[in-house]
Each structure stands twice: as C-alpha cells, then as structure tokens.
Structure 1
Amino acid sequence: MLLSSASTRLVPPRPILAAGPSRGYALSVLPPKPIKGMSLPRHFAGKKAYQYNWYMKIIDSSTTSPLLFLYHNDFTSQRFIKLRRDISAASKRKPSSKPKEGEEEEEVMPEPLLTVIRSSIFGAALRDYPSVANDDVTRMTEGVTGALAVLSLPVLDPPQLKSILRTFNRTVPPRPVKTQEQLQKELDEKNADPANPGRRIKRSRQVVDPELRVLGALLDGQILLPERVKSVAELQTLQTLREQIVGLLSSPGTQLAMTLSEASGGRLARTLEGLKKGLEETAGDVA
C-alpha cells in the first residue's frame, strides 16, 4: 500500500523554551520606554487602574506609619495564611501598661495589613508619588529578582516593629548559605542518569522551603534600608520618648527649685552666719 505525501510529512518538533523570569528586577521606578502607538504619561484602565489607585493609598499611608517591603519566594497559600496570623499575633504581643486612675484605656489599633503586590504597577505608583526618591528605591531593590509584598503598619510603634521582625525570623528562618560542594552535588544529582532506565520515575512531593527577607521600609517619603529598620525597632515608644524629653526640659527648673528650697532653710542661716563671722574678723584686722 502506498502512503500519500501528506501522511509521510514530518512535523518538526516544537522548540523547548528555557524557563526563567520574564524580567531581571523586582521593582522598577524607571520611566517607561516610549512605545509606538502609546502616549505618555501612561494611564491604566480597568483592573490595573483599581490596583494603581489602591497602591497609591498604601503609599500615602506611609506618611504617618512605616511600610515594610518584603521579598518572598516559594510561598504557598497556606504559608501566607499562617504568616498573616503570626503577624497579627506579634502586633498584639507588646508591653502593655495598665491605665492609671482617671486615664482612659488605650484604643484598639487596626492590625497590620500584608499585601502581595504586582511589582510593575506598584513601581509606577512609586514613580508617580512626589516625595519618594527613585534612587533610594533602586538602591533598596538592587540585585533582587522575584515577588514582593508590602506590610502596612497602623502606627509607628518600635516595640511592635521589633516583635514583627522577630516573628519573621521565627516563622521563616533565613536559608543557610550553601557551599560550593553542596551546589556541585545537587547539580550532579540533577544531571545523573536514572537508577532504573526505562522505568517510570516515582512522583515525589516537592519539599518547599519558603524564603522571606526585609528589603527596607518607607516612612514619610524616606527609604530606610534594613540596618536602619533594625535601629528604629530598638527605640522606645513615642510616649516614653515624650516623657524623657519633658524630663530633660523640666530638670533645670526642678534643680533650681530644690536649691532655693534648701537655701530658704538651714543652709541660708549657715551661710549668713559664716558671712557675719567673716565681716567681724575683717573689722578686727582693720582696727
């Protein structure tokens, strides 16, 4: 039986595309490149416009409270749910003082809000925000590729911030740095031939090791790198700082009042008695 030319036609195999990220940056605030048929400045529509306006509100809230930038990798939905619960518990785990007589109880503050962002639209919102320096944003995200999230804190409370940073290290411990031998061993195992050629490889559940890292913070238009974020977390509460400032300002007046009160008593009498004796001795020498 003769085969037709159509049945003997060979279909070329499809090219295998290399898997990898579509871009090599996490967050870009550079001005967009002009594209033919698109006018600048760019305006979003539909769902992107909603996200843009939402991100602008998040950035605007950083004028009174810090906004943390977080890099996350290999996170599942269950791990994100657990992370949000841990952050909520850590925000309430701060030293509380019982209100004194006549003072009102402290009002309940809203909880921190963790938002997984779309970096391209969030970068456009940062670029359009007037008080944010784009150079500082580029320095914060330099060398970072992957997904980002932002954590909006309700107030600037250093003890609360310190508790949240500790929760990050406890919930998602930092990954240990692999040595060159370990990397080479993993590469050899990946490229090695199967133990039983021709047999179907058993499917195994992949062990996901999530990664979470604080890239910096945004507060009142200023970008804080991780070192400064840790320094802010070591400060006292604003109420404690106010009390210390009031104490420093009132200490000279308090010392003066103590000196005058002491002089009005026995010290003043002893001072006058000493002055009297000195005058009498001087008068005797002159005579």
Structure 2
Amino acid sequence: MPPRLRLSVSLLPHPLRHEVLVYPRRHASAAAAGATSSVTQTSSSNPVSAALPPSAYPSDQPPSHRRPEFRKSQLHRQYTSLLRTTPLIIFFQHNNLQATEWTGIRRELTKALRKVDEEHAAAGRIEPPIAPLVQLKIIKTSIFEAALRVVDFFRPDNISFKGAGKIAGAKADPNFTHDLSRTAYASVLHKKGKHELSPILVGPIAVLSFPHVSPEHLKAALSILSPKAPQNPAPKRKANPGLYDLPVQNGLQKLMLLAARVEGKVFDDGQTRWVSSIEGGMTGLRSQLVATLQGASASVTSTLDAAGKSLYFTLESRRSVLEDEQKGPESEGEEKKE
C-alpha cells in the first residue's frame, strides 16, 4: 500500500484554503463563502480598510448589520417592504395547521375575493381587481417585530443611539441608513418589545395583506377566515359548499383573529370588523363624508341666515317704536280729530 501524503493547508490554493476552513461553519456555497471570508479577514486584520469611506463600497451593496445573503436579512427586507407598501394587514394566530388545511383555506379565500371583484366589475366600478394581490402567509415574529421598529421608529434625519448600548452605537455608521444598516439597528434597539403590536407577535402568526383598504374585500375575507354574526356571517352551505369541507373547517377552527394594522394604526377585533362593515366600501365612505360636509355647510348657512333675519326683524321693530316716539302726543291728537 503506497504511503499517504499529508498536504499542508498552507500549500493549498487561496480559494480552496478558505473553502476548507469556512465551509463547515457557513451554510452558503463554497465559492461565496471563500470570497466573503477573505474580505472579512482582510478588513478585520486591517483597521484602516475596515473604516472605508462611503464611496469605497459598491452602491448596490453597502455594509449591513447582518450579512445580506442570510435568510433572516432577506426576510427583514421583505417585511419592511410589506409594511411600507401595504396599508391593511390582518394578524391571525394559527395552531399547527396542516398543508391540506392551508390549501383549502387559501382556495376559499381566493374564491370569496374574486366574487367581490366580479361584483365590482358588474356594477361598472373601474377599480382594479385585488384578489390576486391579497396574500396569506406565515411570518417570523422576531424578524417582523424588528422590521416594525425600523419602519415606525427609525428616522434617518433624526438619528439617536440612546439606549442602544456601547457596542451597537460604536459599530453604527451614520453614513449608511438603509434598513439593514448598523445605524438602523442601533437607533431602534431601545424600542425592542415596546411597539403596539409586540404583545401579539408571540407564537405562530400569519398575516393577511391587502394592497389597499377595501372594506368589501375585508368583509369577504373575514367571513371566510373569522366568521362572526351579524357583521361577518359565514356563507351558507348551499352558496359555498367547499367552505364546509372537513379540512377547511378543521383549519378555520385553528385560526384566531388578533388585530389589524390599518394605515399605520393598530385596530383590535371590534374596530377591524367595523372597517369591514362600511357600506359601499371606500366609495361609500367618501360619499358619506361629502354628504356630512354638505349637511354641515347647509346647517351653518341656515344658522347664519336665521341670525341675520332675527337681527333684521329686531331692528325693524325698534325703528317703528322710535318713529312712534318721535311723533309724540300731537300726532296722536291729530289722529283723534280726524
């Protein structure tokens, strides 16, 4: 048997050496891990290169608090984008739903939302259909809470590291203020657990997101996911037999409505159902607002008109009294002679 040759790590090529050392510790590809680790080791060993000016970094990849290729970083980006672009988000607690149950629930939800779009089209409304854009998905609560803090509390124009800690504040660079930057992380670290939605972001949570606030679509969604009479009654079996399939009903029993985020404000169960009960949707709400403003203006006009008329009659009566007083007793005697 030929003798085994021992290869020294120092004799291996540079990329291969990093593959051998880094691959067991990183869940990335060998080439990406080798290239990233080489840059990391160089920057850590050389403090001058670690403090590079902003122009030295590529515009599409500034330095981040966490490595951008990690799944947590990608989820953080998705959640911040969702919170900024979605005005209506409903939070549900789910308990061990199976894949078949999720499939049935999503099927019935899509069917109910499409029915609302068809009704709008039949009524001649020019609003675009939103059923394909409504999403029901499970979230990572800790990352979602961090994204909430960044969206609601981080202001690049007014950066403060109060309560962030010495390490987080020292690593923060005010030149970089993107969502994954160390500056954003350090400036909202003291707000951890203090958001209005923090108490409900515990355990398994699913969110239902709408591209815009539509009370009709919200009512249809709640009638499927969280039916409650009289505001959001469930469809009858004859109208929607698929809703009463056993997997769907078992899954719905494991869903519980917690809260909602509407235009940046937190709504509880009752307030969320009140939004869904607005007649005519946003169009009806706008017409109600216009009618209220018109009624208020008419009321103000009538009040001012009544006050003017009252003042006119008062002055006229006073004028007649003064004229009678100026005539005096002579005029009264002349009237008697006549």
- TM-score normalised over the length of structure 2: 0.45
Distance 2:329 2:221 in 1: 80
Counterpart of 1:153 in structure 2 is: 210
Counterpart of 1:190 in structure 2 is: none
1:140 to 182, 200, 218: 200
Q: Classify 1:173/1:77 alpha carbon distance in 2 versus 1 (closer, same or farther; 3 Å).
A: farther
Structure 1 residues 104-153: Cα deviation after superposition (integer angstroms, max 9, x where no partner): x53325335123133154344334334497432222345xx33x322222
8 Å CA contact 2:145, 2:201 repeated in 1: no
**In the TM superposition, what is the alpha-carbon distance from 1:167 to its structure 2 partner?**
3.3
SS at match of 2:127: coil
Q: Classify 1:274/1:48 alpha carbon distance in 2 versus 1 (closer, same or farther; 3 Å).
A: closer
**In the TM superposition, what is the alpha-carbon distance from 1:77 to its structure 2 partner?**
2.0
Q: Classify 1:233/1:118 alpha carbon distance in 2 versus 1 (closer, same or farther; 3 Å).
A: closer
8 Å CA contact 1:141, 1:215 repeated in 2: no
Give the letter for the 2:113 counterpart. Answer: I
**In the TM superposition, what is the alpha-carbon distance from 1:243 to its structure 2 partner?**
0.4
Distance 2:199 2:108 in 1: 30
Q: Classify 1:92/1:272 alpha carbon distance in 2 versus 1 (closer, same or farther; 3 Å).
A: same
Structure 2 counterparts to residues 209-228 of structure 1, below 5 A? 209-210=250-251, 211-228=254-271
Counterpart of 1:7 in structure 2 is: none
8 Å CA contact 2:108, 2:224 repeated in 1: no
Counterpart of 1:179 in structure 2 is: none
**In the TM superposition, what is the alpha-carbon distance from 1:51 to its structure 2 partner?**
3.4
Distance 1:217 1:93 in 2: 25
Distance 1:207 1:94 in 2: 27
- Contiguous gaps of at least 5 residues in structure 2: 1-63, 155-190, 235-245, 331-338
SS at match of 1:209: helix
Q: Classify 1:47/1:276 alpha carbon distance in 2 versus 1 (closer, same or farther; 3 Å).
A: closer
Distance 2:105 2:247 in 1: 15
Give the letter for the 1:242 counterpart. Answer: L
2:130 to 90, 110, 117: 110
Distance 1:82 1:48 in 2: 31
8 Å CA contact 1:84, 1:114 repeated in 2: no
SS at match of 1:107: coil
8 Å CA contact 1:91, 1:163 repeated in 2: no
Q: Whose helix proportion is higher, 1 or 2?
A: 2
8 Å CA contact 1:94, 1:160 repeated in 2: no
SS at match of 2:250: coil
Give the letter for the 2:206 counterpart. Answer: A
Distance 1:206 1:97 in 2: 34
Alignment length, in residue pairs? 202
Relative contact order, CA 8 A, sep 6+: which one is greater? 1
8 Å CA contact 1:68, 1:152 repeated in 2: yes
Matched, 1:58 2:82: yes
Give the letter for the 2:197 counterpart. Answer: V
Distance 1:284 1:95 in 2: 78
- Contiguous gaps of at least 5 residues in structure 1: 1-39, 99-104, 175-204
Q: Classify 1:107/1:82 alpha carbon distance in 2 versus 1 (closer, same or farther; 3 Å).
A: closer
CA RMSD of aligned residues (A): 4.4
Counterpart of 2:115 in structure 1 is: 89
- TM-score normalised over the length of structure 1: 0.52
**In the TM superposition, what is the alpha-carbon distance from 1:281 to its structure 2 partner?**
4.0
